[in-house]
Amino acid sequence: MTQNAVPSVSWIVRNLWLIPVLPMLAAGIGALLKAAQRRLAATLAIGSMSISLVLALIAFADALSHPVVQIVNFHWMQFGDQWLSLGWLLDPLAAVMLVMVSFVGLLIFIYSVGYMAHDDNFTRFFCFLSLFAGAMLGVVIANSLLLLFMCWEVVGLTSYLLIGFWYHRPAAAAAAKKAFVTTRVGDLGLLLGMVWLYAQSGTLLFYNHGAGCLEQGAVAALAAHVTIGGMAVSTAIGLLVFCGAAGKSGQLPLHVWLPDAMEGPTPVSALIHAATMVAAGVYLIARVYPLMSAQALAVVAWVGAITALFAACIAVAQNDIKRILAYSTVSQLGYMMLGLGVGGVAVGIFHLITHAFFKSLLFLGAGSVIHGCTEEQDIRNMGGLRRFMPITFLTYAAGMLALCGFPLFAGFWSKDAILHAAHGWGLSRGPFYLGAIGALLTAFYMTRQVYYVFFGERRTPEAAAEAVVSQHHGEECAVADPHESPSVMTWPLILLAIFATFLGFVGTPAWPWFQSFLAGQHVTFSFSGFSEPGLLSLMATSSLIVVTGLLLGWWFYGRKPILHPTDPDALERLQPSLFHALADRLYVDEFYGVTVIALTRFAAAFSAFLDRWIFGGIVQLISWIVTGLGWLDFSADKVLVNGGFDLGCRELFVGGRLFTRLQNGRVQNYLRVIGIALVVLVILLLWGRLG
Amino acid sequence: MISILTFLPLAGGLIILALARRSRDSARIIAFLFALASLVLAILLWAGFEPSTPGMQFQEWHEWAPSLGIAYHVGVDGLGILMLTLSAIVVLMSLAASWANEKQPSVYFALVLFLESGLFGTFTALNFVHWFIFWELSLIPAFFLVRLWGGPNRARAAAQFFLYTMVGSIALLLAFLALFLATGRFDFVDLANLAQSGQILPSIANNLHWAGSPASIAQGLFWAVFLGFAVKTPVVPFHTWLPAAYAEAPSETTMLLTGAMSKMGVYGFLRILLPIFPQQMQQARTPLLWLAVATIVLPAFAAWAQKDLKRTFAYSSVNHLGYCVLGICAVAQFAGSATEKSAALTGVLLQIFSHGLTAAALFWFIALLERRSGGLRGIDDFGGLRKVVPVFAGLMGIAIFASLGLPGLNGFPGEFLIFKGTFPLATWAASISVLGLLMTAVFLLTVIQKVFSGPVNLRWQTMPDLTFSERVALFPAIALMFLIGLYPQLITGMVHGAVTQWVLTFSQGGHF
Position A667 scores a pLDDT of 53
pLDDT band at A8 (very low <50, low <70, confident <90, very high): confident
pLDDT band at A652 (very low <50, low <70, confident <90, very high): low
Average pLDDT in the B280-285 region? Answer: 90
pLDDT band at B325 (very low <50, low <70, confident <90, very high): very high
Distance separating alpha carbons of residues A647 and A635, to the nearest angstrom: 18
Please indicate if any CB of chain B lies within 8 Å of the CB of A2.
Answer: no
Sequence-separated (6 or more) residues with CB below 8 Å from residue A500: A354, A357, A358, A361, A398, A399, A402, A409, A410, A411
Position A644 scores a pLDDT of 53
DSSP A250: T
- Sort strands B57-65 and B70-76 into parallel, antiparallel or unpaired: antiparallel
Distance separating alpha carbons of residues B342 and A655, to the nearest angstrom: 58
Q: Using CB atoms, pick whichever of A80, A164, A192 lies closest to residue B496.
A: A80
Report the mean per-residue pLDDT for chain A.
84
pLDDT band at A564 (very low <50, low <70, confident <90, very high): confident
Position A632 scores a pLDDT of 83
Residues of A in contact with B243 (CB under 8 A): 611
Tell me the residue type at B265: G
Position A653 scores a pLDDT of 58
Average pLDDT in the B213-240 region? Answer: 89
Average pLDDT in the B256-277 region? Answer: 91
Average pLDDT in the B60-73 region? Answer: 84
pLDDT band at B240 (very low <50, low <70, confident <90, very high): confident
Average pLDDT in the A150-160 region? Answer: 93
| Residue A469 phi, psi (nearest 5) | -60, -45
Distance separating alpha carbons of residues B9 and B32, to the nearest angstrom: 10
pLDDT band at A176 (very low <50, low <70, confident <90, very high): very high
Residues of A in contact with B438 (CB under 8 A): 181, 184-185, 188
Distance separating alpha carbons of residues A75 and B157, to the nearest angstrom: 47
Please indicate if any CB of chain A lies within 8 Å of the CB of B282.
Answer: no
Range with the poorest average pLDDT among B54-58, B170-174, B297-301: B54-58
Q: Is pLDDT above 70 for A473? A: no
Position B373 scores a pLDDT of 87
Q: Is pLDDT above 70 for B62? A: yes
Position A593 scores a pLDDT of 84
Q: Give the H/E segment covering residue A89.
A: strand A82-90
Q: What is the pLDDT of residues B328-344, one digit of tens each?
A: 999 988 888 888 999 99
Average pLDDT in the A662-687 region? Answer: 60
Average pLDDT in the A417-429 region? Answer: 88
Q: Cβ separation of A607 and B416 shorter than 8 Å? A: no
Please indicate if any CB of chain A lies within 8 Å of the CB of B347.
Answer: yes
Q: Which phi-psi region, left, alpha or beta, contains residue B14 (left: φ > 0; alpha: ψ -120 to 50)? A: alpha
Tell me the residue type at A130: S
Q: Is pLDDT above 70 for A161? A: yes
Please indicate if any CB of chain A lies within 8 Å of the CB of B428.
Answer: no
Tell me the residue type at B120: F
Position A651 scores a pLDDT of 57
Q: What is the pLDDT of residues A89-121, one digit of tens each?
A: 999 999 999 999 999 999 889 988 888 888 888
Tell me the residue type at B109: F
- Decide: A234 and A213 in contact? Cβ < 8 Å: no
- Decide: B393 and B452 in contact? Cβ < 8 Å: yes
Average pLDDT in the A410-414 region? Answer: 90
Angle (CA) B147 B309 B415, round 5° = 100
pLDDT band at A463 (very low <50, low <70, confident <90, very high): very low
Q: Cβ separation of B442 and A181 shorter than 8 Å? A: yes
Position A477 scores a pLDDT of 41
Q: Between residues 351 and 380 of chain A, which touch chain B (CB distance below 8 Å)?
A: none
Position B66 scores a pLDDT of 81
Q: What is the pLDDT of residues B28-41, one digit of tens each?
A: 888 999 999 999 99
Please indicate if any CB of chain A lies within 8 Å of the CB of B456.
Answer: yes
Q: Cβ separation of B342 and A681 shorter than 8 Å? A: no
Q: Between residues 92 and 131 of chain B, which touch chain A (CB distance below 8 Å)?
A: none
pLDDT band at B511 (very low <50, low <70, confident <90, very high): very low
Average pLDDT in the A645-672 region? Answer: 54
Q: What is the pLDDT of residues B367-379, one digit of tens each?
A: 999 888 888 888 8
- Decide: A513 and A406 in contact? Cβ < 8 Å: no
- Among the listed residues B128, B113, B137, the one whose alpha carbon sits nearest the alpha carbon of residue B74: B128
Position A675 scores a pLDDT of 66
Sequence-separated (6 or more) residues with CB below 8 Å from residue A680: none
Position A336 scores a pLDDT of 93
Position with higher pLDDT, B270 vs B21: B270
Average pLDDT in the B251-275 region? Answer: 91
Please indicate if any CB of chain A lies within 8 Å of the CB of B234.
Answer: no
Proportion of chain B above pLDDT 90, given as a percent? 45
pTM (2 decimals)?
A: 0.89
Distance separating alpha carbons of residues A508 and A416, to the nearest angstrom: 10
Position A688 scores a pLDDT of 56
Q: Using CB atoms, pick whichever of A75, A146, A689 lies closest to residue B207.
A: A689
Average pLDDT in the B69-75 region? Answer: 87
Distance separating alpha carbons of residues B360 and B219, to the nearest angstrom: 36
- Decide: B356 and B260 in contact? Cβ < 8 Å: yes
Report the gap between the CA of A284 and the closest CA in chain B (Å): 18
Q: How many CB pairs under 8 A join A and B?
A: 199
Report the gap between the CA of B19 and the closest CA in chain A (Å): 30
Please indicate if any CB of chain B lies within 8 Å of the CB of A607.
Answer: yes
Position A471 scores a pLDDT of 47
| Number of residues that make up chain A | 691
Q: What is the pLDDT of residues A17-49, one digit of tens each?
A: 999 999 999 999 988 888 888 889 899 999 999
Report the gap between the CA of B465 and the closest CA in chain A (Å): 14
Name A78's bridge partners: A83
Position B512 scores a pLDDT of 38
Distance separating alpha carbons of residues B130 and B120, to the nearest angstrom: 12
Identify the residue among B437, B445, B446 best suited for mutation to test binding to A, counting A beta carbons within 10 A and taking the highest: B445
Please indicate if any CB of chain A lies within 8 Å of the CB of B61.
Answer: no
Q: What is the pLDDT of residues A256-304, one digit of tens each?
A: 999 988 888 888 888 888 888 889 999 999 999 998 888 899 999 999 9
Q: What is the pLDDT of residues A482-493, one digit of tens each?
A: 888 888 888 989
pLDDT band at A603 (very low <50, low <70, confident <90, very high): confident
Report the mean per-residue pLDDT for chain B.
89
Residues of A in contact with B487 (CB under 8 A): 1, 77
Residues of A in contact with B346 (CB under 8 A): 77-80
Q: Is pLDDT above 70 for A683? A: no
Distance separating alpha carbons of residues A592 and A596, to the nearest angstrom: 5
Q: Is pLDDT above 60 for A2? A: no
Q: Using CB atoms, pick whichever of A172, A195, A677 lies closest to residue B419.
A: A195
Please indicate if any CB of chain A lies within 8 Å of the CB of B209.
Answer: yes
Average pLDDT in the A441-453 region? Answer: 91
- Decide: A139 and A283 in contact? Cβ < 8 Å: yes
Distance separating alpha carbons of residues A207 and A216, to the nearest angstrom: 10
Q: Using CB atoms, pick whichever of A79, A198, A611 lies closest to residue B346.
A: A79
- Ranges of each domain in chain B: 284-512
Q: Is pLDDT above 60 for B323? A: yes
Distance separating alpha carbons of residues B476 and A88, to the nearest angstrom: 30
Burial (CB count <10 Å: 0-12, 13-18, 19+), residue A170: middle
Q: Using CB atoms, pick whichever of B162, B413, B503 lies closest to residue A77.
A: B413
Q: Is pLDDT above 50 for B350? A: yes
Sign of CA dihedral B190, B192, B195, B200: positive
Q: What is the pLDDT of residues B143-167, one digit of tens each?
A: 889 888 888 888 888 888 888 888 8
Position B485 scores a pLDDT of 93
Position A461 scores a pLDDT of 63
Q: What is the pLDDT of residues B385-434, one digit of tens each?
A: 888 899 999 999 999 999 999 999 999 999 999 999 999 999 899 999 99
SS3 B273: helix
Sequence-separated (6 or more) residues with CB below 8 Å from residue A18: A51, A52, A55
Position A22 scores a pLDDT of 94
